[in-house]
């Protein structure tokens, strides 16, 4: 009987896990652009949000005259 109570309690707690709340968060992402569709897809898969870098930072990485270490 103790095992049965443990199983029922575990199933009850699993039903309120954070994964159920993630779908509500993903539903709020706007999908009118391609970037929004990709962000929503990644959200549903559980991947972290992509870092947003500025154009200035991207151009610094592409500098052809910088010496490589």
How far apart CA 68 and CA 42 sit, in angstroms, is: 33
How far apart CA 47 and CA 67 sit, in angstroms, is: 34
- What per-residue confidence (pLDDT) applies to 17? 61
- What per-residue confidence (pLDDT) applies to 9? 82
Query: Is 45 contained in some domain?
Result: yes
Domain that holds residue 31: 7-51
Query: Is 13 contained in some domain?
Result: yes
Query: Is 28 contained in some domain?
Result: yes
Give me the number of domains the chain comprises. Answer: 1
Query: Is 47 contained in some domain?
Result: yes
The pTM of the full predicted model, rounded to 2 decimals, is: 0.43
CB 61 within 8 A of CB 47: no
Query: Is 36 contained in some domain?
Result: yes
Query: Is 64 contained in some domain?
Result: no
Query: Is 29 contained in some domain?
Result: yes
How far apart CA 48 and CA 42 sit, in angstroms, is: 7
Backbone φ and ψ for 26, nearest 5 degrees, come out as -65, -25
- Per DSSP, the chain holds a count of helices (H) and strands (E) of 4, 0
In a structure prediction context, what are the per-residue pLDDT tens digits for the chain, which is 69 residues long? 888 889 888 877 777 665 555 556 788 888 899 988 888 888 888 888 777 778 888 888 887 787 766
């Amino acid at each position: 009987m103790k095992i049965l109570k443990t199983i029922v309690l575990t199933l009850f707690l699993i039903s309120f896990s954070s994964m159920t709340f993630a779908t509500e968060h993903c539903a709020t992402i706007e999908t009118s652009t391609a970037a929004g569709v990709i962000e929503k897809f990644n959200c549903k898969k559980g991947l972290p949000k992509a870092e947003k870098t500025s154009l200035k930072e991207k151009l610094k990485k592409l500098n052809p005259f910088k010496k490589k270490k």
